[in-house]
Structure 1
């Protein structure tokens, strides 16, 4: 594509996916404005370290702003001449939503509304791409095919999932009312270097290297659609570059489309670490789902999206990064 003079706003730029998306956009010559409150949901040092890899770029401008602060978000979008937004800032985590539900109300619902308002008042606004989640599908028996975007998504089993579905509905209404294009991406499980410590691969790695037992929920019978971060960024940026028509709101799955059993993932991690995990089998946790599996055919038709990094290779890359970053 031809690189544009107007900047792209990436919310959640200190986060796992936001950091990677910002790097990709900078790498192709875009100007990027990053926004993040840098909260303490997990290690702030990791978030600051991600930001340190971005702050050296002359084309990157960072703003430490709460995405729920509607006035500041709107002023930033207006004053910088933003016409494209990748909105990834949110309170993540299914289990944490059981402990601190109001964090989800503020970051996910109020924050999404603040971004919508900023976009609809921005002159010449062109495209909002925002993060939804595979959690909106709820829990149901898996057949031989993955979840499709036509699933009803009417029975979320966690508050986190409910807020993400609410964001989709809010976006649909704003697209209809104010005629600016929007794309919601339903992320499945993402992993890789610079990942989130609350995710299984990251947490298991820390515990296995420390000699601590790992807790295996669902007694190991769960399966996830693990997708490597570089493949995810391909899909995010591909979607950003292909805006729908004025007033159109679309929702797209983004994942690997090859589910892997939890015990198989642990086996791959044990191989990469050269250590066997001490496993404590646990029942399903409230809010968890048994299996997730993405049908990504719509994203593939739109962008040519095709994940390339298989789990063993991706875990090897993650373990190499982890050992270097934590000096282990």
Structure 2
């Protein structure tokens, strides 16, 4: 069994991943700042599911804090076999309002993680990137070898920067690094800033929901269990240098260094209006809808090519949207007493 550090352990993906790793007998050290970007009570409730479990330790810490040298020392001296870095400032639209929060949480904190992994001789660092890096691309499905030079939000720009920062450490120090581009993750214990969660909250209150681009959008929704399964399978498989990498014709997502970028998504984009109708079915309510233009920083469609992921870890069982949203609504009603 391994000793694994999970940053963002009080987050949506972090909590589910910690539960799975603990169930498999690993020792897990969780770190999270438990900030107030969204309701800290939800983060505390997630943590309550982990605290007290054998093999779990937790440190409430802001990895971006420049006045806290222990952030790097924590990783350097922790004896971790692997690090899964999920802590970040999320949200496309909030990055338009508060870019400095993203510079701290997504750039400074990641530098501390890279330094800790380098000096701690961590065998595998997995970090969260995002489908947002594809930005203005229109070729579908999105493939890791596609250019990502035109981000349309500052959030996406910080995630693209993370990929470049990780490659530099893989090249300079031989740090094995895997970046995962997540595609619209949903499920129980999810993030309240995500559209499906906001829709559910408004629908049960009887409020109208805002439907952007007049509903003409598609998303590659990915159920939380699929994300966790992918991470767990990748942990014991650090990337190797690609002997076929051609510096005269470089391809994104791979390298002469121990570095790779992988999409992790449902590989099945769903029209937004179909998604809403499925959510309405499980809530038993038809929502009033405000149809609005596209928001700044948003994209019309996402679609993950998951060929590279499946080549690395094999096929991952998919959860249907109907089942996934049913699971989310069941949790949502129980958590809020609806």
Q: Return the TM-score normalized by structure 2.
A: 0.93
**1:181·1:244 contact (CA, 8 Å) conserved in 2?**
yes
Q: Does residue 1:269 correspond to 2:279, yes or no?
A: yes
1:160-212 Cα shifts (integer Å, max 9, x gaps): 00000000000001100000100000001000000000111111011101100
1:248-270 Cα shifts (integer Å, max 9, x gaps): 11000000000001100000001
CA distance in 2, matches of 1:126, 1:69: 25
1:202-241 Cα shifts (integer Å, max 9, x gaps): 1101110110000001110111000110111011111222
The 4+ residue runs of structure 1 with deviation greater than 4 A are: none
- CA offset at residue 126 of structure 1? 0.3
Pairing of 1:104-253 with structure 2 (within 5 A): 104-122=102-120, 124-142=121-139, 145-245=140-240, 247-253=257-263
- CA offset at residue 79 of structure 1? 2.9
**2:51·2:58 contact (CA, 8 Å) conserved in 1?**
yes
**2:310·2:316 contact (CA, 8 Å) conserved in 1?**
yes
**1:69·1:114 contact (CA, 8 Å) conserved in 2?**
no
Pairing of 1:48-63 with structure 2 (within 5 A): 48-63=44-59
SS at match of 1:86: strand
| Structure 1 residue aligned with 2:249 | none
- CA offset at residue 306 of structure 1? 2.0
- CA offset at residue 307 of structure 1? 3.7
- CA offset at residue 29 of structure 1? 0.2
CA distance in 2, matches of 1:268, 1:179: 46
**2:8·2:85 contact (CA, 8 Å) conserved in 1?**
yes
CA distance in 1, matches of 2:170, 2:238: 12
- CA offset at residue 131 of structure 1? 0.3
**2:178·2:261 contact (CA, 8 Å) conserved in 1?**
yes
**1:68·1:114 contact (CA, 8 Å) conserved in 2?**
yes
**2:13·2:224 contact (CA, 8 Å) conserved in 1?**
yes
- CA offset at residue 244 of structure 1? 1.1
Q: Return the TM-score normalized by structure 1.
A: 0.96
| Structure 1 residue aligned with 2:337 | 327
| Structure 1 residue aligned with 2:246 | none
Structure 1 spans left out of the alignment, 5+ residues: none
| Structure 1 residue aligned with 2:5 | 9
- CA offset at residue 74 of structure 1? 1.8
SS at match of 1:258: coil
Q: Give the total of aligned pairs.
A: 321
| Structure 2 residue aligned with 1:255 | 265
**1:139·1:291 contact (CA, 8 Å) conserved in 2?**
no
> Which among 15, 25, 31 is matched to residue 19 of structure 1?
15
CA distance in 2, matches of 1:98, 1:38: 22
CA distance in 1, matches of 2:185, 2:56: 24
SS at match of 2:77: helix
CA distance in 2, matches of 1:140, 1:183: 22
CA distance in 1, matches of 2:105, 2:315: 29
CA distance in 1, matches of 2:82, 2:307: 24
| Structure 1 residue aligned with 2:313 | 303
Q: Does residue 1:95 correspond to 2:87, yes or no?
A: no
| Structure 2 residue aligned with 1:67 | 63
CA distance in 1, matches of 2:119, 2:11: 26
SS at match of 2:296: coil
- CA offset at residue 140 of structure 1? 3.4
**2:75·2:113 contact (CA, 8 Å) conserved in 1?**
no
